[in-house]
């Protein structure tokens, strides 16, 4: 039987010369909780640009929410963060660039085949203002997606400057908003490239699981290529840790390692794994509307203040009380060096 010490350090049976278990225990080193991408891939996106650049010009900051790994909370983060910022008084546009259209239905909106959507904007050159839908939240609009968008990548292959379609479409929409969130599909195809070319920042949701950074190196390489050739203003705006489970040591290990690797680019707020966050989309409401006092809602409200502060929006500062950290699902903040001394 394995003892508590054997379970804590890892255990494998010792083998004799014939490969049989001789009954002796041998300690093994546990594997790391998460393997970070190569540092050289991050170097291309570590330059910091003043966040007020586009606001001074009278336009919105475009934030692309991307991660080609599926199931990490991209759409949940897009919908919840946009709603929380709108409730703080910001003018927000959500661009649903995923053919599945989950960001659209997450606001209770439905688009029939042939109705104005991101497909018409990208393929036919329709103005964003002509395809935008209003939500129940004041100051929050959505450029919806539909199944038509599934064929857009194929139809855009022979098009001239196909990777610039979204960027050009957003030029007329920027002055009307403070923030534009672009929800990307779980891939690095032409739709995601359009989002990266149009964006000022990339926000990457990372799930608090063992394979948290799996494939992130490929995303960083794509961001580097886009930044070098198509959009020199593109930067890594931040990393959001999602699906945090306080009951497991693994989640905390992932939080510690990701924060240690990304530093200040990792947001302080950690999004917890909650049932209410999973239920909200089925009711067609953001979590901040569906259950504004739930842990998930409080977490996204706190994240919205962090994002607004980084972007220079005129909103209330982050409330960094122990209660907020507890309700938000974030791990305790470590004491500073002076406090430790």
Residue 62 lies in a domain: yes
With a cut of 70, say whether residue 81 has pLDDT above it: yes
pLDDT per residue over 13-42, tens digit each? 444 545 455 555 454 555 555 555 555 545
pLDDT for the residue 159 = 81
In 226-308 the beta strands, taken as DSSP E runs, fall at: 235-244, 266-272
Alpha carbon distance 338, 56 (integer Å): 37
Which whole number is the average pLDDT over 144-151?
Answer: 90
Domain count of the fold of the chain = 1
Residue 249 lies in a domain: yes
pLDDT for the residue 100 = 92
Q: Rounded to the nearest 5 degrees, what angle is found at the Cα of 170, between the Cα atoms of 190 and 145?
A: 55
Average pLDDT, the chain: 81
The proportion of the chain whose per-residue pLDDT surpasses 70, expressed as a percent, equals 75
pLDDT for the residue 324 = 57
pLDDT for the residue 200 = 96
With a cut of 90, say whether residue 2 has pLDDT above it: no
Q: Is 43 exposed, middle or buried (0-12, 13-18, 19+ CB in 10 A)?
A: exposed
Which whole number is the average pLDDT over 134-161?
Answer: 90
pLDDT for the residue 36 = 56
Residue 305 lies in a domain: yes
Please report where in the chains the tokens 């950690």 appear, as a residue: 270
Closest CA to 170 of 219, 133, 125: 125
Residue 21 lies in a domain: no
Alpha carbon distance 47, 39 (integer Å): 14
pLDDT for the residue 22 = 52
Confidence band, pLDDT 50/70/90 cuts, at residue 331: very low
Residue 314 lies in a domain: yes
pLDDT for the residue 337 = 41
Confidence band, pLDDT 50/70/90 cuts, at residue 334: very low
pLDDT per residue over 188-239, tens digit each? 889 999 999 999 999 999 999 888 777 777 888 888 889 899 999 999 999 9
pLDDT for the residue 58 = 61
Residue 2 lies in a domain: no
Q: Rounded to the nearest 5 degrees, what angle is found at the Cα of 102, between the Cα atoms of 312 and 272?
A: 60
Q: What is the CATH number of the domain that holds 304?
A: 3.40.50.300
Confidence band, pLDDT 50/70/90 cuts, at residue 53: very low
Least confident of 277-281, 296-300, 336-340: 336-340
Q: Which domain holds residue 194?
A: 35-331
Residue 182 lies in a domain: yes
Residue 337 lies in a domain: no
């Amino acid at each position: 039987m394995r003892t508590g010490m054997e379970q804590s350090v890892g255990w494998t049976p010792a083998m004799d010369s014939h490969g049989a278990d001789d009954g002796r225990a041998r300690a093994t080193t546990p594997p790391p909780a998460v393997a970070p991408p190569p540092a050289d891939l991050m170097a291309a996106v570590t330059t910091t640009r003043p966040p007020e650049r586009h606001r001074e010009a009278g336009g919105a900051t475009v934030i692309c929410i991307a991660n080609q790994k599926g199931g990490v909370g991209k759409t949940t983060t897009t919908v919840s963060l946009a709603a929380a910022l709108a409730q703080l008084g910001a003018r927000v546009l959500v661009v649903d660039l995923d053919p599945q259209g989950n960001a659209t239905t997450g606001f209770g909106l439905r688009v029939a085949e042939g109705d104005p959507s991101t497909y018409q904007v990208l393929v036919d050159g329709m103005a964003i203002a002509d395809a935008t839908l209003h939500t129940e939240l004041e100051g929050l609009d959505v450029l919806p997606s539909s199944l038509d968008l599934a064929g857009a990548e194929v139809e855009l292959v022979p098009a001239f400057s196909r990777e610039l379609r979204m960027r050009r479409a957003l030029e007329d929409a920027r002055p009307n908003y403070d923030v534009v969130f672009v929800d990307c599909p779980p891939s690095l195809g032409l739709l995601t490239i359009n989002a990266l070319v149009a964006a000022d920042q990339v926000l990457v949701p990372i799930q608090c699981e063992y394979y948290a950074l799996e494939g992130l190196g490929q995303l960083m390489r794509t961001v580097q290529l886009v930044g070098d050739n198509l959009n020199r203003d593109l930067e890594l705006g931040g990393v959001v840790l999602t699906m945090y489970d306080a009951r497991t040591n693994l989640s905390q290990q992932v939080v510690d390692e990701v924060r240690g690797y990304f530093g200040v680019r990792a947001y302080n707020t950690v999004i917890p794994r909650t049932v209410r966050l999973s239920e909200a989309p089925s009711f067609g409401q953001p979590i901040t509307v569906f259950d504004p006092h739930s842990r998930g809602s409080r977490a996204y409200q706190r994240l919205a203040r962090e994002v607004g502060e980084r972007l220079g929006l005129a909103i209330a500062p982050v409330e960094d009380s122990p209660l907020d950290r507890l309700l938000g699902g974030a791990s305790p903040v470590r004491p500073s060096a002076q406090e430790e001394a």
